[in-house]
Amino acid sequence: MRLAARGTRETAAGEEPVGDPGERRVLRSRAARIHAVAVASAAALAAAGALAPWLACASR
């Protein structure tokens, strides 16, 4: 994730930049999509956690 967002890859020799602009674009796009899903999931879980006590009291 960290490497893809920066346009680099890990090899046996260490970290190196991805040379192909098309491949770099695909890697960055994939990393951005994964970050977006992670943020949305965290927000949904936080909202559910914040609403859970209120919903439990409202159902009594």
Tokens 């680099």 found at: 8
Report in angstroms the alpha-carbon separations of 5 from 11, 28, 34, 56: 16, 5, 10, 41
Question: How confident is the model over 1-59, as pLDDT tens digits?
Answer: 788 778 888 889 988 988 899 988 898 898 899 999 999 999 999 999 999 888 778 76
Cβ pair 4, 25 in contact under 8 A: no
State the residue range of the domain holding 30.
Answer: 2-58
Cβ pair 24, 7 in contact under 8 A: yes
Instruction: Work out how many domains the chain is built from and give that number.
Output: 1
Tokens of 24: 């770099």
pLDDT at 35: 93
